[in-house]
Amino acid sequence: MDSRKDKFVRINYQPELQRTEYQQKSFLHSFVLEIKANKLAIAAVIFLMVIFVAVLLAPLSPYDPDKMDVVHKLQPPGNGHLFGTDNLGRDYFTRALYGGRVSLQVGFFSMLVTIIFGTVWGTISGFAGGIVDVIMMRIVDIMMSIPSFLLLIILNAFIAPGLFTMVFIISIFAWMGVARIVRAETMSLKERDFILASRCLGEKKRNIIWFHIIPNMIPTVIVAASISIANAILTESSLSFLGFGVQLPMSSWGNMLQGAQAHVLDRPYLAVFPGIFILLTVLSFHVLGDVLRKTFERG
């Protein structure tokens, strides 16, 4: 009985403070979990990674993308040319890789410009409120109601075409969407108690935006960014297809499609390859955006 009595001794029981089970998972970790749970997302990530690496390694290709070889023109895929050759005998695979460089670069840089400008515009508008907000948002409305594609074509005719002019003119007509999302987010964030607490501590407005509003907006902005890459790639391809984008002999997926037009009946693969690249890249970025959004919602 003594051993039983021993158990009834008062103790000062202080269990472990940490709750290991509920340790906060890092963003990357939950992102990976979210991707693993979604087959489409796995495919999208793998595709983007493959494209990215292939495009980076494009110079390793034995062919020069611009070198014409009329003797071997319009060869079908295989026989040393993975995707065959085009109407001037250039290796189609190599051109597709170099074209991907242009598309991805334009997409990435347009996204950067769009996001930075849209975020700044949206935060200022949302935080300031009142007349400033009204004016800034009307400017956004006006920009949005301009038939942008037409204007893009006109603009492109005046400015010397090139990679960075493309980035510039695509961004001009893409930042409004981001600005609107960011403004809505700012307006909801600035009513939160922690902003009031910061004001109560005497924090400057600039610091409130910088330390509290922007960090809390990052999830929204990242999701917007992935969509905006996709849109920029699509716009670039459309422009190039119409002949207003990157100028020959530089290749891009858009102007490859244009070149394929003449042979769409006898050499359909010339249209299929760049078309599939555009489709899958854009789709993958959209899937990625969706996964990012889900991760942020859970986390």
Partner 1 sequence: MNKLVEIKNLEISFQDFHGAFKAVRDVSFDIYEGEALALVGESGCGKSVTAKSLLGLIPEKDGSIAEKSEILYQGENILTYSKKRWKEYCGQECGMIFQDAMAALNPTVKIGDQIAENLRVHQKISRKAAKEQAIAALRMAGIPQPEIRAEQYPHEFSGGMRQRSMIAMAMICQPRLLIADEPTTALDVTIQAQIMELMKSLKEKNRMSLLLITHDLGVVAGIADRMAVMYAGQIVEIGNSRDIYYRTRHPYTYSLLKAVPSLNGSHGRRLEAIDGMPPEAGDILKGCPFAARCRYCMQICIEECPPKYEFEDGHFATCWLHDPDADISDCKFQTGGNLCNQE
Partner 2 sequence: MQSGMKGENVILEVRNLSKFFRMGRHSVLKAVHDVSFSVRKGETLGLVGESGCGKTTCGRTSIGLYEKTSGSTLFNGKEIAQMKGKERKDLTKRVQMVFQDPYTSLDPKMKVHRLIAEGIRIHNIAANRNEEQEIVLDMLQKVGLHPSYAYRNIKEFSGGQRQRIGIARALAVQPEFLLCDEPISALDVSIQAQIMNLLMELQEKMGLTYLFIAHDLAVVKHFCDRIAVMYLGKIVEMGGSEEVYGHPLHPYTKALMSAVPIPDPDLEMGRKKILLSGESSSHMGEDRCRFADRCPYVSNQCRNEGPKMKEVAPGHWVACHQI
Q: Which residues bind partner 1 (CB under 8 A)?
A: 4-15, 19, 21-22, 298
Q: What are the tokens at 135?
A: 């004016």
Q: Out of partner 2, partner 1, none, which partner does residue 193 contact, by CB within 5 to 8 A per kind?
A: partner 2
The reply on whether position 203 binds partner 2 by CB under 8 A is: yes
Complex with partner 1: residue 15 or 215, whichever CB lies closer: 15
Q: Out of partner 2, partner 1, none, which partner does residue 62 contact, by CB within 5 to 8 A per kind?
A: none
The reply on whether position 197 binds partner 2 by CB under 8 A is: yes
- At 195, the amino acid letter reads I
Torsional sign, CA 288, 294, 296, 299? negative
Complex with partner 2: residue 58 or 187, whichever CB lies closer: 187
- β-pair partners for 78: 81
Query: Which of 31, 58, 36, 9 lies closest to 298 in space, CA to CA?
Result: 31
Q: Out of partner 1, partner 2, none, which partner does residue 164 contact, by CB within 5 to 8 A per kind?
A: none
The reply on whether position 212 binds partner 2 by CB under 8 A is: yes
The reply on whether position 199 binds partner 2 by CB under 8 A is: yes
Complex with partner 2: residue 17 or 60, whichever CB lies closer: 17
Distances (CA, A) of 218 to 33, 137, 203, 225: 20, 21, 21, 10
Complex with partner 1: residue 138 or 298, whichever CB lies closer: 298
The reply on whether position 133 binds partner 2 by CB under 8 A is: no
**Helix, strand or coil for residue 201?**
coil
The reply on whether position 215 binds partner 2 by CB under 8 A is: yes
The gap from C-alpha 45 to its chain's centroid, in whole angstroms, comes to 13
Residue 184's contacts (CB-CB under 8 Å, 6 or more residues apart) are: 126
Complex with partner 2: residue 164 or 211, whichever CB lies closer: 211
Task: Tell me the backbone φ, ψ of residue 25, rounded to 5 degrees.
Answer: -80, 145
Q: Say how far apart CA 197 and CA 199 lie, in whole Å.
A: 5
Question: Using CB under 8 A as the criterion, which residues of the chain lie in contact with partner 2 when the complex forms?
Answer: 17, 22-24, 192-194, 196-203, 207, 211-212, 215-216
